[in-house]
Amino acid sequence: MAAVKSMRWGALRSLATAFRTATRPGTPGVGTRLTSLPRLVWATFRGEYSGTSRGRLFAILGALLYVISPVDLVPELFLPFIGLGDDALVISWIAVSLINETESFLHWERDRDLTVHGDVIRGDVIH
Q: 3-state DSSP call for residue 105?
A: helix
pLDDT band at 40 (very low <50, low <70, confident <90, very high): very high
**Residue 24: per-residue pLDDT:** 78
Amino acid at 72: D
| Number of structural domains in the chain | 1
Q: Which structural domain, as residue segments, surrounds residue 79? A: 36-106
Residue 117 counted as domain residue:
no
Task: Look at residue 113 in the predicted model and tell me its pLDDT.
Answer: 74
Asked if residue 4 belongs to a domain, the reply is no
Of 31-35, 75-79, 103-107, 114-118, the poorest mean pLDDT is in 75-79
In a domain, 2, yes or no: no
Provide the CA 45 distance to its chain's centre, in angstroms. Answer: 16
pLDDT tens-digit series, residues 42-87:
999 999 999 999 999 999 999 999 888 877 666 666 666 666 677 7
pLDDT confidence bin for 102, thresholds 50/70/90 = very high
Q: Does position 116 have pLDDT exceeding 60, yes or no?
A: yes
Q: Which residue has the higher pLDDT, 125 or 99?
A: 99
Q: Is 47 part of any domain?
A: yes
Residue 25 domain flag: no
Note whether residue 22 is domain-resident.
no
Cα 13–chain centre separation: 16
